[in-house]
Chain A
Amino acid sequence: MNYYTDNKVLGHYLRHPLMQRIVQMQEHNYTQADKYNYAPIDFDEAVEGYEQVLELIGRLCAEVIAPNATEVEADGPTLKDGRVIYAPATEQNLDLFRKAGLMGISLPREYGGLNFPRTVFILIEDVVTRADAAFGNLWGLQDCAETIHSFGSEEQCQRFLPRVCAGETMSMDLTEPDAGSDLQSVRLKASYSEADGCWYLDGVKRFITNGDSDIHLVLARSEEGSVDGRGLSLFVVEKSCGGVHTRRIEDKMGIHGSPTCEIVFNHARAELIGSRRMGLIKYVMALMNGARLGIATQSVGLAQAAYSEALAYARSRKQFGKAIINFPAVYDLVGGMKARLDAARSLLYETSRNVDMSGQFTALARERTLTPEERAEAKIFAKKADALTPIIKGIGSEIANLNAYDCVQVHGGSGYMRDYVCERIYRDARITSIYEGTTQLQVVAAIRYATSGFYGQLLDEYLAAEVPERLAPLHGRIAKMAADYKAAVEKAQASACQESLDFLSRRLYEMAAYTIMAALLMADAAADEELFASSLNRFVAMAEALVAGHAAYIEAYTPELLQYYEK
């Protein structure tokens, strides 16, 4: 078994035309091969290397991580003397991934990383999450190191990043009891000691994933008397320096293998990352965008796990003398899961390519001044990345939940029993539409791109690409969806009432998301019809119905409706 090679769809995204540029920039034009014996000499070798590593991970995931998942969950992490002790199977997983050299996937080689581009990191996370979302969570926190890399000093990079690559774990400590979605209210106190020449942190953080990590990134109030986000700075705290301990591990619905902690800072020695006051408004915003893409990936991995389980069960379970997959009621469910999965994945990688390119330009800008053309291009990639991230985070997580629900349904009574993996997927998926910003907050982040017409422009761009003759009818139907979406946006804006627009925004958001996913899936099918045509046909039919339904709702909407809602 291999979770990479058994899924041809993944390799497709490795060979997307834009990957040539992404890898070339990531590899500094392939100039590192002389200095590092594991750096590729050209694009072909780079991709061959990604595939080999993905194959390795696919095998480890199918043979160790997935089979361990039940034990990881059953044992769970435990708390002893303020320290978190992972389940033995979690330790085994971490040890395996450390030995396999998978703890610094995207960090530069100079700090001991593999220097893989973001999109390849996402592919790996996609595979790992399918095996075990809870372990994927822990392992994925290596991405916090990106924040140190982006905003820390060179000296801090040299000190911390090699340790992350060697397998030390990280956490990002943002949330507090009274600061969840509203991080501006963070109160954890940072005070500078002139005598010791360092900062000290005091206070409590809550709901911190892997809160007993080796290296913490902590958002704290460094400016006494300030009340908003501009008084917050970002710090790094090392467990080994003491002063931070775990008070409680939350008892959650899912992802049991990933400890969610309440942690106490008691005069914990800390060092500042970057500049004071920039903690929330710059660094955490960047960190959150990366984290949202991470949750989107986790969602796609879970949607895949749900689909794979459902398909295997529907093929093996016999009722009325035949496998249940042969009944329309069941193949509609399973086929719908696959269509949504492929659509979400297509959007995930479109988003990740834009995030990747945007990041490549940011990195390049640190080395030299960008040309005006480069600056213009960088701006477009950044805007697309910003516009697409809330869509894939929100919709991807909703799709993970839809697939998890349908997966249990396909299993029937067995699915309600603890004996099958699907009930774990069902519980694990539930958090994806909540943490790192609920779907409702993703709608808030996205809606400005709807009202500004940006999603409409994106759709025009996607639909302008040539498609093979055979896909023309589907192209026409997607174009019709795009037109209906634009009309709905206009209608919603025409009401000129902010509350109405807010009220309708979820529906506009879903219309944009489903139409964009249909257009992207069509582009994938244009490149590889065999791989994507079935999903495309099914997805367009589903998306069309959703878009038409929302269009009808918005068409019939009047502000009077609002008075019938309780407040």
Chain B
Amino acid sequence: MKLNIIVLAKQVPDTRNVGEQAMNADGTINRAALPAIFNPEDLNALEQALQLKEANPESKITVLTMGPYRAADILREALYRGADEGILLTDRAFAGADTLATSYALAAAIKKVGHYDIVLCGRQAIDGDTAQVGPQVARELSVPQVTYVRRIVSLNEERIIVERSIENGVERVEAPLPLLLTVDGAADACRPANAYRLLRFHRAATPTERASEGYRYEAQISADEALRLKEWSLADVDGDAARCGLSGSPTKVRKVENVVFRAKESKRYTAADEDIKSLIGELLSNHTIG
């Protein structure tokens, strides 16, 4: 089976190693103070793609990311680990996008790629933590989606069976192709970069990088198509500027505040009617609702 797989990836600040300068005075992230990394759950998604390709060697894995020029680093990282092609979606018009505008732009790029069987992405990014982009891309593409995927059980030309994490367990779901899967951290960790691929693909470059001073591998990149990373603008993906960037973002951040979680105990309610009744009664009495 020859699958076309698209993996959505995001370059994120490494919020797991937050130092003192991580936050600006205005509450926004000081990206310069944090190393930029491959969003962890996007690596889980990439691993699923690589396993599909192992089982179906004819397949092709395209990694797509939206971001500034330096986001090309994670495209190379994906190539080191086994992806076939990288696309950087970059344009000033995309700047300031919330999850909706981001999803629109990514979906436009996926349409431009053309035929695909599976779109894989991480459940959520460690900077925004919204888990909205995957589902919104699926909606924009009008394809089914399965979220919280931890394992692909099987697939044929038309259908796929996956396991997804649910509270207290695992759910097995069958869905038709093409579709979008969001993969969570419970899925297999991504395999490491491969030394041979590292030595080859460290030369991979976007047209902008290729034209920059100090790029030394012109002979190799002209001879080896796999080294050429694509760089697409808004115009390249036939996008509507009004739906991109700030203008396409309905989300407005009014204020950022620290929320301290004070509750020490938790209570469990079952799905039984009396439990639900008792919960509603409690919420009403403490004015959480009503």
User: Residue on A with the closest CB to B191?
Assistant: A99
**Contact status A101-B196, CB under 8 Å:** yes
Judge if B194 is at the interface, Cβ distance under 8 Å. Answer: yes
User: Residue on B with the closest CB to A64?
Assistant: B192
Chain A interface size, as a band, is 20 to 34
With a cutoff of 8 Å between Cβ atoms, the chain B residues found around residue A44 in the complex are 216
Judge if A52 is at the interface, Cβ distance under 8 Å. Answer: yes
- Among candidates A49, A96, A99, residue contacting B202 with C-beta atoms closer than 8 Å: A49
Judge if B220 is at the interface, Cβ distance under 8 Å. Answer: yes
Judge if B25 is at the interface, Cβ distance under 8 Å. Answer: no
- Among candidates A33, A53, A56, residue contacting B220 with C-beta atoms closer than 8 Å: A33
B191, B192, B193, B217: which has the most chain A beta carbons within 10 Å? B192
Judge if B238 is at the interface, Cβ distance under 8 Å. Answer: no
**Contact status B202-A48, CB under 8 Å:** yes
With a cutoff of 8 Å between Cβ atoms, the chain B residues found around residue A101 in the complex are 194-197
Judge if B200 is at the interface, Cβ distance under 8 Å. Answer: yes
With a cutoff of 8 Å between Cβ atoms, the chain B residues found around residue A431 in the complex are none
A38, A60, A96, A102: which has the most chain B beta carbons within 10 Å? A38
**Contact status B220-A49, CB under 8 Å:** no
- Among candidates A37, A39, A56, A114, residue contacting B224 with C-beta atoms closer than 8 Å: A37
With a cutoff of 8 Å between Cβ atoms, the chain A residues found around residue B220 in the complex are 33, 37, 41
CB neighbors of B among A81-103 (8 A)? 96, 99-102
Chain A, residues 102-142, CB within 8 Å of chain B (1/0): the string is 10000000000010000000000000000000000000000
With a cutoff of 8 Å between Cβ atoms, the chain B residues found around residue A96 in the complex are 191-192
**Contact status B216-A38, CB under 8 Å:** no
**Contact status A53-B217, CB under 8 Å:** no
Q: CA of A56 to CA of B200 in the docked complex: distance in angstroms?
A: 15
**Contact status B202-A52, CB under 8 Å:** yes
**Contact status A53-B216, CB under 8 Å:** no
With a cutoff of 8 Å between Cβ atoms, the chain B residues found around residue A38 in the complex are 196-197, 199-200
**Contact status B192-A49, CB under 8 Å:** no
* Min distance, Cβ A114 to any Cβ of chain B, angstroms: 6
* Min distance, Cβ B68 to any Cβ of chain A, angstroms: 22
**Contact status B198-A49, CB under 8 Å:** yes
Q: CA of A466 to CA of B193 in the docked complex: distance in angstroms?
A: 43
**Contact status A56-B191, CB under 8 Å:** no
* Min distance, Cβ B196 to any Cβ of chain A, angstroms: 5
CB neighbors of A among B152-206 (8 A)? 191-200, 202
With a cutoff of 8 Å between Cβ atoms, the chain A residues found around residue B194 in the complex are 99-101
* Min distance, Cβ B190 to any Cβ of chain A, angstroms: 10
With a cutoff of 8 Å between Cβ atoms, the chain B residues found around residue A53 in the complex are 195, 198-199
- Among candidates A33, A45, A52, residue contacting B198 with C-beta atoms closer than 8 Å: A52
Q: CA of A402 to CA of B114 in the docked complex: distance in angstroms?
A: 64
Q: CA of A38 to CA of B198 in the docked complex: distance in angstroms?
A: 8
Chain A, residues 395-420, CB within 8 Å of chain B (1/0): the string is 00000000000000000000000000
**Contact status B217-A56, CB under 8 Å:** no
Judge if A254 is at the interface, Cβ distance under 8 Å. Answer: no
User: Residue on B with the closest CB to A40?
Assistant: B199
* Min distance, Cβ A526 to any Cβ of chain B, angstroms: 31
**Contact status A45-B216, CB under 8 Å:** yes
Q: CA of A56 to CA of B77 in the docked complex: distance in angstroms?
A: 11
**Contact status A114-B195, CB under 8 Å:** yes
Q: CA of A179 to CA of B220 in the docked complex: distance in angstroms?
A: 54
Tell whether A41 pairs with B198 under 8 Å between CB atoms, given A56-B193, A60-B192, A100-B192: no
User: Residue on B with the closest CB to A45?
Assistant: B216
Q: CA of A378 to CA of B241 in the docked complex: distance in angstroms?
A: 68
Q: CA of A56 to CA of B199 in the docked complex: distance in angstroms?
A: 12
With a cutoff of 8 Å between Cβ atoms, the chain B residues found around residue A99 in the complex are 191-192, 194
**Contact status A100-B195, CB under 8 Å:** yes
**Contact status A56-B216, CB under 8 Å:** no
User: Residue on A with the closest CB to B80?
Assistant: A56
With a cutoff of 8 Å between Cβ atoms, the chain A residues found around residue B196 in the complex are 38, 101, 114
* Min distance, Cβ B75 to any Cβ of chain A, angstroms: 16
User: Residue on A with the closest CB to B50?
Assistant: A99
With a cutoff of 8 Å between Cβ atoms, the chain A residues found around residue B200 in the complex are 37-38
Q: CA of A114 to CA of B194 in the docked complex: distance in angstroms?
A: 11
CB neighbors of A among B210-255 (8 A)? 216-217, 219-220, 224
Q: CA of A96 to CA of B190 in the docked complex: distance in angstroms?
A: 10
With a cutoff of 8 Å between Cβ atoms, the chain A residues found around residue B193 in the complex are 56, 100
User: Residue on B with the closest CB to A52?
Assistant: B198
Q: CA of A7 to CA of B195 in the docked complex: distance in angstroms?
A: 21
With a cutoff of 8 Å between Cβ atoms, the chain B residues found around residue A49 in the complex are 198-199, 202
With a cutoff of 8 Å between Cβ atoms, the chain A residues found around residue B216 in the complex are 41, 44-45
* Min distance, Cβ A246 to any Cβ of chain B, angstroms: 30
Q: CA of A48 to CA of B201 in the docked complex: distance in angstroms?
A: 13
With a cutoff of 8 Å between Cβ atoms, the chain B residues found around residue A37 in the complex are 200, 220, 224
**Contact status A114-B199, CB under 8 Å:** yes
Q: CA of A44 to CA of B202 in the docked complex: distance in angstroms?
A: 13
* Min distance, Cβ A299 to any Cβ of chain B, angstroms: 25
**Contact status B192-A56, CB under 8 Å:** yes
Q: CA of A37 to CA of B201 in the docked complex: distance in angstroms?
A: 9
With a cutoff of 8 Å between Cβ atoms, the chain A residues found around residue B192 in the complex are 56, 60, 96, 99-100
With a cutoff of 8 Å between Cβ atoms, the chain A residues found around residue B202 in the complex are 48-49, 52
With a cutoff of 8 Å between Cβ atoms, the chain A residues found around residue B219 in the complex are 41
With a cutoff of 8 Å between Cβ atoms, the chain A residues found around residue B195 in the complex are 53, 56, 100-102, 114
Q: CA of A96 to CA of B81 in the docked complex: distance in angstroms?
A: 12
With a cutoff of 8 Å between Cβ atoms, the chain A residues found around residue B217 in the complex are 41
* Min distance, Cβ A88 to any Cβ of chain B, angstroms: 15
Q: CA of A39 to CA of B217 in the docked complex: distance in angstroms?
A: 12
User: Residue on B with the closest CB to A112?
Assistant: B196
Q: CA of A325 to CA of B90 in the docked complex: distance in angstroms?
A: 51
Q: CA of A303 to CA of B219 in the docked complex: distance in angstroms?
A: 44
Chain A, residues 491-522, CB within 8 Å of chain B (1/0): the string is 00000000000000000000000000000000
User: Residue on B with the closest CB to A103?
Assistant: B195
Q: CA of A114 to CA of B219 in the docked complex: distance in angstroms?
A: 21
Q: CA of A32 to CA of B194 in the docked complex: distance in angstroms?
A: 20
Chain B, residues 55-90, CB within 8 Å of chain A (1/0): the string is 000000000000000000000000000000000000
Q: CA of A49 to CA of B217 in the docked complex: distance in angstroms?
A: 14
* Min distance, Cβ B115 to any Cβ of chain A, angstroms: 27
With a cutoff of 8 Å between Cβ atoms, the chain B residues found around residue A39 in the complex are 199
* Min distance, Cβ B157 to any Cβ of chain A, angstroms: 29
Q: CA of A114 to CA of B196 in the docked complex: distance in angstroms?
A: 7
User: Residue on A with the closest CB to B81?
Assistant: A99
Q: CA of A39 to CA of B224 in the docked complex: distance in angstroms?
A: 13
With a cutoff of 8 Å between Cβ atoms, the chain B residues found around residue A100 in the complex are 191-195
With a cutoff of 8 Å between Cβ atoms, the chain A residues found around residue B199 in the complex are 38-40, 49, 52-53, 114
Q: CA of A100 to CA of B220 in the docked complex: distance in angstroms?
A: 23
User: Residue on B with the closest CB to A49?
Assistant: B199
Q: CA of A357 to CA of B142 in the docked complex: distance in angstroms?
A: 63
User: Residue on B with the closest CB to A99?
Assistant: B191
Chain A, residues 14-46, CB within 8 Å of chain B (1/0): the string is 000000000000000000010001111100110
User: Residue on A with the closest CB to B194?
Assistant: A101
* Min distance, Cβ B191 to any Cβ of chain A, angstroms: 5
User: Residue on B with the closest CB to A56?
Assistant: B193
* Min distance, Cβ A265 to any Cβ of chain B, angstroms: 35
* Min distance, Cβ B200 to any Cβ of chain A, angstroms: 4
**CB-CB nearest 8 A-B residue pairs:** A38-B199, A101-B195, A100-B192, A38-B200, A101-B194, A99-B191, A49-B199, A101-B196
Q: Give 17 pairs: A residue, B residue, CB < 8 Å, sorted on A.
A: A37-B220, A38-B196, A38-B197, A38-B199, A38-B200, A41-B216, A41-B219, A44-B216, A52-B202, A53-B199, A56-B193, A56-B198, A60-B192, A99-B194, A101-B195, A102-B195, A114-B195
Known pairs A49-B198, A100-B193 / 9 extra A-B pairs, C-beta < 8 Å: A37-B200, A40-B199, A41-B216, A41-B217, A41-B219, A44-B216, A45-B216, A100-B195, A101-B195
What residues make up the interface of B, taking CB atoms closer than 8 Å to A? 191-200, 202, 216-217, 219-220, 224
